[in-house]
Amino acid sequence: MLNHVMLGTNDLDRSKRFYDAVLGVLGAGQPLRNVAASGHVRLFYRHAGSTFAISQPIDDAAATPGNGSTVAFRCDSAEQVQRFHDVAVAHGGVSIEAAPGPRESDLGRMVLAYVRDPDGNKLCAICRA
């Protein structure tokens, strides 16, 4: 269904350090650096058939997080969810909502962790139990 998810950043170097560490937990390597025709830099992380990107906003306005938006990253285990959370916090992210752990819902049992990246974007690490 999705080809990629891209988030804007106000500090590409800071975001690269954050996402190199956090996405490294999931097994993603270094991103592909792309320069748009406008001269703006975008970084594309590719792993397990998915692409996640960070970009300097092409319109030169400040990057802002989407209210009500969440980007969720699939994890292989509850331990990986916890590592994702801990690495995110250690690299400038902020833990939000309930502590990482299991949740019961109509969608089944899951292990979740929520953080905000350094630009305020809401991220979720999820493992379906």
Provide the 10 A C-beta neighbour count for residue 42. Answer: 19
> Is pLDDT at 2 greater than 90 in this prediction?
no
Query: In which band, very low, low, confident or very high, does the pLDDT at 36 lie, cut at 50, 70 and 90?
Result: very high
The pLDDT of 112-119, averaged and rounded, is 98
Instruction: For residue 38, give Cα distances in angstroms to 10, 31, 61, 114.
Output: 16, 20, 14, 33
pTM for the model stands at 0.94
> Is pLDDT at 129 greater than 80 in this prediction?
no
Question: C-alpha angle 3/49/89, rounded to 5°?
Answer: 90
Instruction: Provide the percentage of residues in the chain whose pLDDT is more than 70.
Output: 100
The pLDDT of 3-18, averaged and rounded, is 97
Q: Which long-range contacts (CB under 8 A, 24 or more apart) does 77-82 make?
A: 77/127, 78/102, 78/111, 78/127, 78/129, 80/25, 80/26, 80/125, 80/127, 81/111, 81/112, 81/113, 81/125, 81/126, 81/127, 82/113
The pLDDT of 89-103, averaged and rounded, is 96
- Classified as helix, coil or strand, 78 is helix
